[in-house]
Structure 1
Amino acid sequence: MTPGSTTAATPWLVRPPAAGHPARIFCLPFSGSGASAFSAWPAVIGDAEVCPVQAPGRENRLAEPHYGTYENLAAGLAEALAPHLDRPYAFFGHCAGALPAYETVLRLAELGLPAPDFLCVSGQPAPHQAAQDRMLTMTEPELRAEVESFIRGRGIEPRPDMVGMGLTVLRQDHAAAKAYRRTEPVAVSCPVVALHWRDDPDVALADLDGWRRYAHQVDIRVVDGGHYDFMDAPDELQRLLARRLRRPAYGKGNAG
C-alpha cells in the first residue's frame, strides 16, 4: 500500500487504520463504556496512530450480541487485528479493559502473530486480583448512582434513557468480569507498563505490584490525575506512550 492509504475496515476499530503511520496503539476502554472513551485523544501520538477498539454490544455495535467472556473478546479481537500488525504496535487498556488486552496478547502469541512492543495497563490490578474491583459487588442503586456520577463528571446532565443504556452495558460487562478467572499468572513476551493514577481513590500503587509476575520486564509508573483522567489524553500520558513506541527505524518521534 502507498503511504496515506487505509487498510480494510473492521467493526472492531472505529476507523480503518491508515497505512501512513509507522506504529499503532490499540486502545481498550473500561467496563460499561466503548471506543468513545478515547474521543478526546489525538489521532496520532508521537509516531503511533491511535486505534480505539469497539467491542460488540455497545455504541455503534449495540445491536450485536455481547461478547460474553474476556476470552471470547480476546479471540475476536485477535482475529480482527491480525491484518494490522505489520508494524510496531502496543495495547493500552484502562481499568477492566486491561484484562481483555492482556488476554488478546496471549491469544496473538498462540496464533503465532507478532507481539506488541508493550502492553500498557492503566488503573487495573493484575488478572489474578481482578475480582477485588469494588464495583463488582455494588447493588443496582449503587451502580445507577455510579453511572450518573460518571456522566455528570463529563459535564453532561444524565437523562434516564442514557443512564438505562449505560447500566445495561455495564451489567453485561460486569458479568464478564465476574466470570473471569486467572489464578496462575501467565507471562507475556512483551514488556508491561502499569500506570497508577496519583489521585485514583480505588486503585493504590501497591495494587499494581501483581503485574510483576506477568512479564520479564514490568515498569510501574505514577502519573498525575484521577481514575478517568486518561480520557483527556494528558500530556504526561502521551509522552510516555510516544517514548515507548519510538524505534530507530521509525525515528520521527517528537515526544520528550
Structure 2
Amino acid sequence: MRPAANPVWLQRSPSPAAAGRVFCIPQAGCGTNVFENWPREQDSIEFLPVELPGRLTRFKDRMPATFQGLAADMVAGLEPYLDVPVAFFGHCWSAIAAFEVAVHLERRGLPPTRLFVSSELPPQLGPAGRMLDMDEPELTVELEATIRDLGREPHPELVALYVRVLRDDIGLRRRYVASAPLRHCPITAIGWTDDTEYRPEQLAGWADSGKTTFVVFPGRHNRFVDAPAELLDAICAGFPSR
C-alpha cells in the first residue's frame, strides 16, 4: 500500500488510480491556494499543488538557500509518488524551481514526462525580474496587487507575513545560477497574450534549456489561477497516450 501523503509537501493523498500526476508549484510569495480553482484531476491526470517552505502550513520551515537545494528536498518528499508518469508546472518564479526539479530528477535517471513553464525568462537569462530590486514597501504594493488579481482583498497582517516570504523567495532568484540544460525531459513554455510581465516572445530562450514547445494562451499574467480549459488540456496532452 502506498504511504499516506507527506504532510509537508502535499495537502492530500495522491490517488492510486491516477494515470499521471502534475505537481503544481506556487509562484513567489504564494501558497497552494493559487491552485484552488484547478480540478483534482482531468482525463485521469491528477493535479497536486505543492506546499513550499515558509507559507501556509509550513510557516516555520525555512526555504533552502538555493533552487537546487529546494529541488533536492522536494524530490525527496515527493519520491513515493513518482510511480506513474509525472510532470511539473511552474509559473513565473516557480518555473525556475520546476526546472531545477526536472534537472535533479534527470540526474537520478527519472526524467519527468514534461516540464511546463509559464511566464518566466529562461534559466540562463537570470537573475531577472523587476522585483529583484524592490524594497519592502514596494514589495507590499506588489503583493497586494497580486492578491487582488486573485480575487481577494489583502489583509494587512497576512500581507506583512507574506512580504517576508516574497522577499526570501526573491533572494533565491537573485542568487540563482542555472544548472545545465535538460537532456531528456521536454519543455512546454507558456506565454499569455496580455502579460505585462513577460511578453510571449521573451520566452524564446527556453529553447536553450531543452527541447521546447511554445504555446500562447489568451489572458493576463496570472490567468493560470482561473484554470483555463486550454491550459489544462495542453498539460494533459503532454502525457503519454493512455
**TM-score normalised according to structure 1 size:** 0.89
Aligned length: 241
Is the alpha carbon distance of 1:246 and 1:110 closer, same or farther for their aligned partners in structure 2, counting shifts above 3 Å?
A: closer
> Over residues 153-184 of structure 1, what are the superposed CA-to-partner deviations in whole Å (9 max), with x where a residue is unaligned?
233222210210110110110111111112x7
Check whether the contact 1:70–1:180 (CA below 8 A) recurs between aligned residues: yes
Superposition RMSD in Å: 1.5
CA distance in 1, matches of 2:3, 2:15: 6
Measure the CA separation in 1 of the matches of 2:26 and 2:183.
20
Partner of 1:152: 148
2:169 counterpart (157, 167, 173): 173
> What SS does the corresponding residue of 1:13 show, helix, strand or coil?
coil
Specify which of 11, 17, 21 is matched with residue 18 of structure 2: 21
Identity of matched residues, %? 37
- Residue 227 of structure 1 is matched in structure 2 by 221
Label 1:86 to 1:165 Cα distance change in 2 as closer, same or farther (>3 A).
Answer: same
Structure 2 letter corresponding to 1:90: A
Give how far 1:210 is off: 0.8
Aligned to 2:127, the other structure's residue is in SS state: helix
Q: Name 1:75's counterpart in structure 2.
A: 72
1:254 aligned partner: none
Letter in 1 for 2:155: R
1:141 shift after superposition: 2.1
Task: Please list every run of at least 4 consecutive aligned residues from structure 1 whose deviation after the TM superposition is greater than 4 angstroms.
Answer: none
Verify: 1:135 aligned to 2:128, yes or no: no
Q: Which residue of 2 aligns with 1:94?
A: 91
In 2 relative to 1, CA 100–72 (structure 1 residues): closer, same or farther, beyond 3 Å?
A: same
Please tell me the residue identity of whatever aligns with 1:233. Answer: A
After superposition, the C-alpha distances for 1:183-239 in whole angstroms (9 at most, x for unaligned) are x74224111000001110010122111110111x31010011111110110111111
Tell me the CA shift for residue 20 of structure 1.
1.0
| Structure 1 residues 169 and 157: CA distance shift in structure 2, 3 A | same
SS at match of 1:26: strand
Q: Provide the C-alpha distance between the structure 1 equivalents of 2:183 and 2:174, rounded to a whole number of angstroms.
A: 23
* Distance in structure 1 (CA, Å) of the matches to 2:42 and 2:117: 17
* Distance in 1, Cα, partners of 2:24 & 2:215: 18
Shift, 1:120, TM fit: 0.5
Cα drift, residue 246 of structure 1: 4.4
The residue type paired with residue 169 of structure 1 is V
Q: Which amino acid aligns with 2:192?
A: W
- Report the AA paired with residue 57 of structure 2: N
- Per the normalisation by structure 2, the TM-score is 0.94
Out of 161, 173, 179, the position equivalent to 2:157 is 161
Question: What are the ranges of 5 or more consecutive residues in structure 2 without an aligned counterpart?
Answer: none
Alpha-carbon distance between aligned partners in 1 of 2:177 and 2:233, rounded to the nearest angstrom: 33
Report how far residue 69 of structure 1 moved.
1.6
Query: Residues 143-162 of structure 1, C-alpha deviation per residue, up to 9 Å, x if partnerless?
Result: 11111112222332222102
Aligned with 1:206: secondary structure?
helix
Q: In structure 2, give the amino acid aligned to 1:23.
A: G
Contact 2:224 2:231 in 1 (8 A): yes
Alignment pair present for 1:34 and 2:31: yes
- Determine the C-alpha separation between the residues in 2 that align with 1:155 and 1:244: 29
